Structure 1
């Protein structure tokens, strides 16, 4: 069961990347992992850097993908993004977006946290 969910999660990341590219963002990197956190997608929106968390849920019950992001997860993503910014010497505006995907479609929340 977990393997099916992982495959659907990967497909959601591909769909999220394509969706964002269709909306004018430029792809930089995917699945950036550090021991303390992970960034699903790194994109550019003009001069701004965008760190994207992709959430996929097969069911919309319990708030679906939109409500699947915990405060602990946001803290790990922030920590990973901070590390990424330092490693890549980024001196630009950065934001955190969420792509919430479920069978009904994709929701893009800009500046989600």
Structure 2
């Protein structure tokens, strides 16, 4: 299992423990991949998980570039359209996963990280 996969597992457990329903993981389209799609009450949440071994080169969320945001947006629009949920409330969250003394853990949950 790669570091990224481990981080996504930790993130999915964190989201579920905080009341979100995991709808799917690793949703892939031609334009990009969404790590986790969850539901928070009536809101569909598209989650980008960034896992790093340290913050020496910056915090994980700093690596969600404008280009990556555009890919996520296109993939999210496709997901909503295929589910017939074009008008559903939605948001984009970023979860930073870093090592702690107990192992990998979500250290920062940025809600509506690049919403409009």
Which ranges of structure 1 fall in alignment gaps of 5 or more residues?
1-5
- Structure 2 SS opposite 1:61: coil
Match of 1:43 in 2: 38
Per the TM alignment, residue 98 of structure 1 is displaced from its structure 2 partner at its CA by 0.5
Q: As a proportion of its length, which structure holds more helix?
A: 1
Structure 2 unaligned runs (5+)?
none
Determine helix, strand or coil for the equivalent of 2:95. Answer: strand
Aligned residue pair count: 108
Q: Given the alignment of the two structures, is residue 111 of structure 1 paired with residue 112 of structure 2, yes or no?
A: yes
- Hey, what does 2:21 align to over in structure 1? 26
Match of 2:97 in 1: 101
* Contact 1:64–1:102, Cα closer than 8 Å, also in 2: no
TM-score (norm 2): 0.88
For residues 49-70 of structure 1, the C-alpha deviation after alignment (integer angstroms, 9 at most, x for no partner) is 0000001111211222121111
| RMSD of equivalent CA atoms | 1.2
TM-score by length of 1: 0.91
